């Protein structure tokens, strides 16, 4: 077996190890940070939550790459190869790749991790195929309304949705259009068009797919919080467009009442529950100001980058030592 397989084996295990550590820290810290996040403007909150969702996978990958940095610099001839100095343990090195570990535990770990990735990829591929068919069926059964740039679905159900991953289209049922006043329809359109501009479905897809390393209970909370932030961000856009926050709140309650009266041929219960209360209550308050924090983000990013490069050697040796202990 190629010795580069050993490198892949350790790289994969190291990535998941770092990701798992980040997920645990995240689980401990999020309840404390959540209280501060709630007061931020929804658009800003949704961005931060997306980054939070991606953090374990991103940090896992980043730290693993950093572990390889000393040997990468040696490969480029920037620094001297140090492997000969430490020949008593396993090397996380591109020049002297470690031999693959051929024991039951490491194989079991790799099979489990590989299985998780395959299952996630399979589920999302299936979801994408279903979404594509649903989108196609809706397109075929609806008529384009060029005045509002929407697709009107001739259906006895009440319906107001945006479908599509990158290019979203708004579908509204004819029955809902007949019931809503022109101003209420403006609220719905402004809200749905905001989803389309913000690429919220893509945001949800990326967040859901790449958050696999989070602890499941925290992942559910983060996704629910991000979805709520996206809805509130679109409510804010509608409120600005109509220039009446209370009217938007009224419209949400009005449409929720209509949906409650709609007879569905089965019990409709969602695991996340309805977020109407939070959305309406947020519209009753003054809008939270969007505080541009680009300088803070750049500063934090720069500090993290410098700290990461400064700790490259330590990270590299500690990881080697841990793997050395595990494979002894």
Partner 1 sequence: MLPVKRQNLGELEMAVLEHLWVTKFGDAKGVHNSVGTQRGISLNTIQSTLERLFKKQLLRREKVSHSYLYSPSVQREELITQLIDDVVKSLSGGKSDYMLSAFVDFAARADESSLDRLEQLIAQRRADNCPDEKG
Residues that bind partner 1 (CB under 8 A): 127-128, 130-131, 133-138, 140-141, 153-157, 159-165, 168, 188, 191-192, 195, 200-201, 204-205, 208, 230-231, 246, 249-250, 252-253, 255-257, 259-260, 264-277, 280-281, 284
The set of residues, in sequence order, having a beta carbon less than 8 Å from that of 128 and lying 6+ positions away, is 165
* Residue closer to partner 1, measured from CB, 91 or 195: 195
Q: In the bound complex, what is the minimum distance in angstroms from residue 44's beta carbon to partner 1?
A: 19
Residue closer to partner 1 (CB basis): 66 or 160: 160
CA dist 220 and 211 (Å) reads 10
Reference 173, options 160, 186, 189; nearest CA is 160
State the minimum distance, in angstroms, from the CB of residue 4 to partner 1.
Answer: 37
Residue 71 neighbours by CB under 8 Å, 6+ apart: 81, 83, 91, 92, 93, 94, 95, 96
Q: Minimal distance in Å, beta carbon 174 to partner 1?
A: 9
3-state secondary structure of 61: helix
CB-CB contact of 98 with 4 (8 Å): no
For residue 139, count other CB atoms closer than 10 A to its CB: 15
Closer residue to partner 1 in complex, CB, 192/236: 192
Nearer to partner 1, 123 or 299 (CB): 123
Closer residue to partner 1, CB minimum distance, 58 or 259 = 259
Rg of the chain over CA atoms, in angstroms?
Answer: 25
Nearest distance from C-beta of residue 303 to partner 1, angstroms: 36
Q: Taking the complex as a whole, how short is the minimal distance between the CB of residue 133 and partner 1, in angstroms? A: 4
Looking at the Cβ atoms of 21 and 224, the one nearer to partner 1 is: 224
Q: How far is the CB of 159 from partner 1 (least distance, A)?
A: 6
Partners of 159 in the β-ladder: none
Give the nearer residue to partner 1 in terms of CB position, either 278 or 308.
Answer: 278
* Least separation in angstroms between CB 304 and partner 1: 32
Contact between 289 and 41 (Cβ < 8 Å): yes
CA distances 116 to 38, 104, 216, 245, Å, are 32, 18, 13, 44
- Measured between alpha carbons, how far apart are the two ends of the chain, in Å? 20
């Amino acid at each position: 077996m190629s010795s580069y397989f050993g490198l892949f084996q350790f790289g994969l295990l190291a990535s998941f190890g770092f990701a798992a550590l980040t997920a645990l820290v995240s689980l401990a810290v999020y309840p404390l940070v959540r209280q501060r996040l709630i007061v931020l403007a929804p658009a800003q909150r949704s961005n931060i939550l997306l980054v939070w969702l991606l953090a374990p996978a991103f940090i896992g990958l980043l730290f693993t790459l950093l572990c390889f940095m000393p040997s990468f610099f040696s490969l480029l001839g920037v620094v001297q190869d140090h492997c000969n100095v430490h020949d008593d343990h396993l090397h996380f090195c591109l020049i002297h790749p470690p031999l693959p570990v051929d024991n039951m535990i490491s194989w079991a770990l790799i099979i489990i991790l590989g299985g998780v990735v395959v299952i996630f990829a399979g589920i999302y591929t299936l979801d994408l195929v279903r979404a594509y068919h649903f989108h196609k069926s809706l397109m075929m059964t609806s008529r384009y309304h060029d005045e509002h740039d929407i697709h009107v679905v001739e259906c006895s159900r009440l319906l107001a949705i945006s479908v599509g991953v990158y290019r979203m289209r708004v579908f509204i049922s004819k029955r809902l259009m007949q019931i809503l006043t022109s101003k209420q329809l403006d609220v719905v359109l402004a809200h749905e068009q905001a989803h389309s501009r913000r690429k919220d479905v893509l945001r949800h897809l990326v967040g859901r797919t790449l958050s696999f390393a989070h602890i499941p209970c925290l992942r559910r909370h983060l996704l629910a919080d991000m979805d709520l932030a996206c809805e509130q961000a679109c409510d804010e856009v509608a409120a600005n467009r109509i220039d009446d926050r209370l009217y938007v709140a009224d419209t949400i309650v009005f449409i929720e009442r209509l949906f409650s009266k709609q007879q569905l041929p089965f019990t409709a219960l969602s695991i996340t529950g309805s977020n109407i209360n939070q959305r309406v209550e947020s519209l009753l308050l003054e809008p939270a100001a969007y505080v541009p924090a680009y300088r803070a983000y750049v500063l934090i990013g720069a500090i993290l980058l410098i700290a990461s490069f400064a700790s490259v050697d330590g990270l590299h040796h500690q990881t080697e030592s841990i793997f050395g202990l595990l494979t002894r």
